[in-house]
Amino acid sequence: MSTETTTFTTTDAALTRDEMAKIVAADIPAGAFVNLGIGQPTNVSNFLTAEQGVTLHTENGMLGMGPVATGDDIDEDLINAGKIPVTELPGASYFHHADSFAMMRGGHLDVCVLGAFQVSGGGDLANWHTGAPGAIPAVGGAMDLAIGAKATWVMMGLFTKTGESKLVEALTYPVTGLGCVSRIYTESAIFELADGTVTVRSTHGITFEELAERLPVELVKAA
Amino acid sequence: MSTETTTFTTTDAALTRDEMAKIVAADIPAGAFVNLGIGQPTNVSNFLTAEQGVTLHTENGMLGMGPVATGDDIDEDLINAGKIPVTELPGASYFHHADSFAMMRGGHLDVCVLGAFQVSGGGDLANWHTGAPGAIPAVGGAMDLAIGAKATWVMMGLFTKTGESKLVEALTYPVTGLGCVSRIYTESAIFELADGTVTVRSTHGITFEELAERLPVELVKAA
Amino acid sequence: MAPRIAATAAEAVANIHDGATVMIGGFGNAGQPMELIDALMDCGATNLTVVNNNAGQADAGLALLIKERRVAKVICSFPRQSDSWHFDEAYRAGELELELVPQGNLAERIRAAGAGIGGFFTPTGYGTMLAEGKETRVIDGKGYVLETPINADFALIKALRADELGNLVYRKTARNFGPIMATAAKQSIVQVSEIVSTGSLDPENVITPGIFVDTLVTIGGNN
Amino acid sequence: MAPRIAATAAEAVANIHDGATVMIGGFGNAGQPMELIDALMDCGATNLTVVNNNAGQADAGLALLIKERRVAKVICSFPRQSDSWHFDEAYRAGELELELVPQGNLAERIRAAGAGIGGFFTPTGYGTMLAEGKETRVIDGKGYVLETPINADFALIKALRADELGNLVYRKTARNFGPIMATAAKQSIVQVSEIVSTGSLDPENVITPGIFVDTLVTIGGNN
């Protein structure tokens, strides 16, 4: 699950959201138990193959979650953490909220994929609260998800609308979890984080050198 | 469950074990959830009536335990905490060990009836370990049972073989639980314990005055 | 004690008093005891502390209780949603206290209350705003926050089916907070689609044993 | 990952190594994975720490492991029994370390390990010999002891039935420690009477989700 031997690659164009989701999906080891956060990470499920045999966890109490339900399959008692009706796969199981979060907190899930406002080079994650004055905070399962799985991966845009890097030296947004992120997927690059070192696995529509210039953290190019 | 208005009574003869068990059974409120410890307390179940609607808990993971199993009803997967084969009543449920002890520790059982080596006037209980040199200790569920239920009742002989009182000012045996016992049933008397006061509800084969002389704790006679 | 069977939701919630702490099950619409919440609205109890995953949505249920200022405090993980306007307004007006708890800690604190645990060290939230003012400890190199149990006077729960002893089964992800809230409240009030005769539920499949259920009411019955 | 299906008990336990901590399910004979324990005996692993409710009985199973001095330490609640002679001898000879834990604390500590809890305050054992040297705290006037999680390398468990994904159901009071031990061990090795096809178990009734199961072996099959 950690940084296997990675070879640096580069492509001319930035990744689309589907391309990002497809890469994340391909990186998930066969047979893994995975929680996909709300938003972009949910899209990863569309690119998992049956051969991978990945089991999806939803923190509202289910393993073996299937695709989004449509038409007659919609059942208000069967929803995911984003409150979207989903389906049940053969071999599924249901459990209560304490057992569900115990499963997560106890380190039983292999991978959790989350969105983020910011990630630090040390793997600190900010994704729950803008910290803006007057903003009403809501945390949900964000903090549990951040620190629970064996590996926490982030999918995010690398830059804010105003062009600032969301991969930062130190978080300016409120912390969700410390030192928990080990991989970041963005449209412009994919990063591996380990022991304070940020390794660039690939760049997309940008060269390693350009990236190194724009980001406020020291980058290592994968071999 | 606590000392309702009690009227002092006395009988000429000491209580037999069955008489003690019958009195305990009659004292259990209708509809109560009860755990009966190993030994004398187990005998209480023989005197519970169907009308009482008492539900028995066994800490190895069951509510709705029925009588001891005999003949073809013996099932090695269905035993009580004393490892005796038992039966299942309609409306029973099974759960794992952590849930079972959570049920107890969380104060959900109404009454727990236990044996004892000693009880102090303040309700401290000793029933798990003689503390003798070389004795191998074994605690089982004793400490959980002592402090878990809403009311903990003890059934014991009032005197040791050498005639010393087992109702004591301060325990000389190792503690099982502090301040947990609210009622003691013995062959010679029944005691209510509350806030450091020991009230004698009844005597059997002994007068209140004789009892007061033999016991090392101050006794109050029920009105 | 076999649970009281209430004829109506109004009768089921009639003894909820001003100032009570009320847990309300459900995650999204799944497992939300809507009829019991409506009855709580009608019964007039005020100055409530509500424990729920959210803080009301749109113009129904908990949102209405908040709109009418019947709720003094909400303990939840995810108050702000696109349609949480009544919460937003009451909170911004300073007329509603909010205790924001990560969802897994919320579940574990509810479980702890039911299980008689005095507090526990959880890694979730360590190093974040939500741990401010709380005791923390580093155990084996990992940071933990001390969290305390959340008890309640009442729990409002939706289950699928009960037997006459109050044993419950749930349906799919509607199980969520129900089983743990039932253990943490002094009185659990449960709406079900049907009440079946004792002995109809397989003891292996009971999710909430009847010991945790005080009041049952049948609602609808179309599940 | 779907569990490995071992052809024999010997194959199932083959990777248990010297010095491993091994949890063994069962309470009395109910849920005791006798064939796996026998296989552990045959596989030769030594210097083991064993977590079990007892410390072996008569001349079989765990008692034989202790007799052969393959066990360096036992963590249990009730070691001394009428037929625990091998334990008694090894313990008196100072050749076996004993950590005696009240049964409910044992269960809760195992659960805590599986749930990622760093420690918890329990009332059980407060003021007793078994709390000596442990941190204590008075919370709301009640005394508590801080207890720590018990993790293991392996768990040996007996369940009734598994599907191919490792979802488990148990039988009656044979459930006992199985579900929590499965969560607390790095590898859970489970003997079952039969393995059924995926989709054969009702997702509502799964007691141990397959995520907690690593190895399955079919034994007997007469339950």
Indicate whether C27 pLDDT > 80.
Answer: yes
Indicate whether D82 pLDDT > 60.
Answer: yes
Cα–Cα nearest to C217, from C187, C181, C183, C193: C193
Termini Cα distance of chain A:
18
Cα–Cα nearest to C155, from C51, C65, C72: C51
Per residue in D199-211, pLDDT tens? 999 999 999 999 9
CB contact under 8 A, C121 and D119: yes
- Rounded CA separation A82/A58 (Å): 9
Would you state the structure tokens that stand for residue A213, as one six-digit string?
A: 């210039």
Per residue in B197-210, pLDDT tens? 999 999 999 999 99
ipTM above 0.95, yes or no: yes
Mean pLDDT of B90-105: 98
Of the candidates B51, B59, B169, B209, the residue annotated as catalytic is B59
Per residue in C101-111, pLDDT tens? 999 999 999 99
- Rounded CA separation C210/B90 (Å): 12
CB contact under 8 A, C170 and D121: no
Mean pLDDT of B98-122: 98
CB contact under 8 A, B143 and D102: yes
Mean pLDDT of chain C: 96
Strand partners, A58: A62
Taking CB atoms and an 8 Å cutoff, what residues of chain D touch C109? Answer: none
Per residue in C185-198, pLDDT tens? 999 999 999 999 99
CB contact under 8 A, D102 and B142: yes
Per residue in C123-158, pLDDT tens? 999 999 999 999 999 999 999 999 999 999 999 999
What is the predicted pLDDT for the residue at B131? 86
What is the predicted pLDDT for the residue at B90? 97
Confidence band for B5, pLDDT divided at 50, 70 and 90 = low
Per residue in A37-74, pLDDT tens? 998 999 999 999 999 999 999 999 999 999 999 999 99
Of the candidates A59, A76, A88, A218, the residue annotated as catalytic is A59
Residue keyed to tokens 């500590």: D109
Mean pLDDT of chain A: 95
Cα–Cα nearest to D83, from D68, D71, D66: D66
Mean pLDDT of A141-158: 97
Q: Which chains touch D (3 or more CB pairs under 8 A)?
A: A, B, C
Taking CB atoms and an 8 Å cutoff, what residues of chain B touch D100? Answer: 137-139
What is the predicted pLDDT for the residue at B6? 76
Cα–Cα nearest to A66, from D180, A84, B212, D52: A84
Is B107 an interface residue toward C (CB < 8 Å)? Answer: yes
Is D120 an interface residue toward A (CB < 8 Å)? Answer: no
A59 is catalytic: yes
CB-CB contact of A96 with C175 (8 Å): yes
Pick the CATH number of D4-118+151-218 from 1.50.10.20, 3.40.1080.10, 3.30.930.10, 3.40.640.10: 3.40.1080.10
Mean pLDDT of C41-65: 96
Task: Point out the residue among C107, C128, C173 whose CB comes nearest to the CB of A143.
Answer: C128
Q: Which chains touch C (3 or more CB pairs under 8 A)?
A: A, B, D
Strand partners, A168: A120
- Rounded CA separation C38/B206 (Å): 61
CB contact under 8 A, D124 and B76: no
Confidence band for D220, pLDDT divided at 50, 70 and 90 = confident
- Rounded CA separation B208/B200 (Å): 8
Chains B and C touch (3+ CB pairs under 8 A): yes
Task: With both helix axes pointing from N to C terminus, report the angle between A97-105 and C103-115 in degrees, rounded to the nearest 10.
Answer: 120
Mean pLDDT of B33-49: 95
Percent of chain D with pLDDT over 70: 99
CB-CB contact of C197 with B49 (8 Å): no
- Rounded CA separation C8/C219 (Å): 8
Cα–Cα nearest to D182, from D109, D111, D106, D103: D111
- Rounded CA separation D62/D76 (Å): 12
- Pair type for strands D161-163 and D168-169: antiparallel
What is the predicted pLDDT for the residue at A135? 87
Mean pLDDT of A85-98: 98
What is the predicted pLDDT for the residue at B135? 87
CB-CB contact of B10 with B207 (8 Å): yes
Indicate whether C222 pLDDT > 50.
Answer: no
Is A58 an interface residue toward D (CB < 8 Å)? Answer: no
C-alpha distances in Å from residue D160, one per residue of B96, B100, D169, D171: 14, 20, 6, 6
Indicate whether B1 pLDDT > 50.
Answer: no
What is the predicted pLDDT for the residue at A133? 87
- Closest chain A residue to D198 measured between Cα atoms? A91
Taking CB atoms and an 8 Å cutoff, what residues of chain C touch D118? Answer: 120-123, 137, 139, 142, 144
CB-CB contact of D99 with D73 (8 Å): yes
Indicate whether C96 pLDDT > 80.
Answer: yes
Confidence band for C67, pLDDT divided at 50, 70 and 90 = very high
- Pair type for strands B111-114 and B151-155: parallel
Among D51, D97, D172, most B C-beta atoms within 10 A, so best to mutate, is D172
CB contact under 8 A, B140 and D103: yes
C-alpha distances in Å from residue B153, one per residue of B20, B142, B194: 12, 13, 12
What is the predicted pLDDT for the residue at C91? 96
With a CB cutoff of 8 Å and minimum separation 6, the contacts of B40 are B17, B20, B21, B115, B155, B156
DSSP for B151-198, written as a single string? EEEEE--SB-TTS-BSEESS-SSPPSBSS-EEEEE-SSEEEEEETTEE
Task: With both helix axes pointing from N to C terminus, report the angle between D103-115 and A97-105 in degrees, rounded to the nearest 10.
Answer: 70
Percent of chain B with pLDDT over 90: 93
Fold of B9-221: Glutaconate Coenzyme A-transferase (3.40.1080)
Task: Point out the residue among B64, B94, B107 whose CB comes nearest to the CB of C116.
Answer: B107
Per residue in D159-189, pLDDT tens? 999 999 999 999 999 999 999 999 999 999 9
What is the predicted pLDDT for the residue at B4? 56
Indicate whether B133 pLDDT > 90.
Answer: no
CB-CB contact of D191 with D160 (8 Å): no
Please report, for chain C, the start and end positions of each structural domain, with discontinuous segments joined by +: 4-118+151-218
Per residue in D41-68, pLDDT tens? 999 999 999 999 999 999 999 999 999 9
Among D145, D176, D192, most B C-beta atoms within 10 A, so best to mutate, is D176
- Rounded CA separation D124/B149 (Å): 12
- Closest chain A residue to C121 measured between Cα atoms? A105
Is B132 an interface residue toward D (CB < 8 Å)? Answer: no
Indicate whether C221 pLDDT > 90.
Answer: no
